[in-house]
A and B are shown apart, each in its own frame.
Chain A
Amino acid sequence: EAGVAQSPRYKIIEKRQSVAFWCNPISGHATLYWYQQILGQGPKLLIQFQNNGVVDDSQLPKDRFSAERLKGVDSTLKIQPAKLEDSAVYLCASSLEGLYGYTFGSGTRLTVV
């Protein structure tokens, strides 16, 4: 079974620039999550999709972050404009159902300078 695919692996941008991350979940997984993990902390949920609908985006900074999951398969997360404090690893995860454990992708390490 192929895992959760994410790209790019690394990204360095200047503050105020924009950036986009891509995620392709495990085939058949209806639930997709984007997490932000700052060094030394646990992952923090940004947004949860069930198929192509948003289940929870309460912690997504909507003034600068956006995410979509067209057709209920792959997803993109965008930051515009980026701030220094957005430097983190952005993890995508998928699961069959919300109450089961997730499978994470390898993440995108973002550095904002």
Chain B
Amino acid sequence: RKEVEQDPGPFNVPEGATVAFNCTYSNSASQSFFWYRQDCRKEPKLLMSVYSSGNEDGRFTAQLNRASQYISLLIRDSKLSDSATYLCVVNTNAGKSTFGDGTTLTVKP
């Protein structure tokens, strides 16, 4: 079993839709969590950190469920420009980071 697992998708949604991705992790000692966005043939870019209390940044909401060991990313009112691969990252308190393989989102007009 992989340390960090994501549904690869692809998720194909119309503009304006709400879409959610989950990411599960196996190491219960994981301390910090992030979502990155990666456009085709580009480097990953930090989208948002994930806090225990949940956090929101505009149309994006990230949540953490420590009991079930997963994090989620919710995108509301999808835009064409949201089309990308979304990577979750899980860090242990020793600073070890593990990336998921990403979930591909395509937003269509």
- Residues of chain A whose beta carbon lies under 8 Å from any beta carbon of chain B: 31, 33, 35, 40-45, 48, 50, 55-56, 91, 97-107
Among candidates B43, B95, B98, B100, residue contacting A99 with C-beta atoms closer than 8 Å: B95
The reply to whether A106 and B42 contact each other, CB–CB distance below 8 Å, is: yes
> Could you tell me the distance between the alpha carbons of A70 and B100 in the complex, rounded to whole angstroms?
30
Q: A101: which of B46, B95, B102 is its contact (CB, 8 Å)?
A: B46
Residues of B within 8 A of A107 (CB): 43
From A102, which residue of chain B is reached at the shortest CB distance? B46
B residues within 8 Å of A by Cβ? 4, 31-32, 34, 36, 42-46, 49, 87, 89, 91, 93-102
Name B's interface SS: strand
Given contacts A42-B99, A45-B98, A99-B93, 5 further A-B contacts (CB under 8 A): A35-B99, A45-B97, A56-B96, A98-B97, A100-B32
A contact residues around B36 at 8 Å (CB): 101
**Across the interface, which residues of B come within 8 angstroms of A40, CB to CB?**
101
Cα–Cα, bound, A82→B93 (Å): 34
Nearest CB of B to A41, in Å: 5
Residues of B within 8 A of A33 (CB): 97
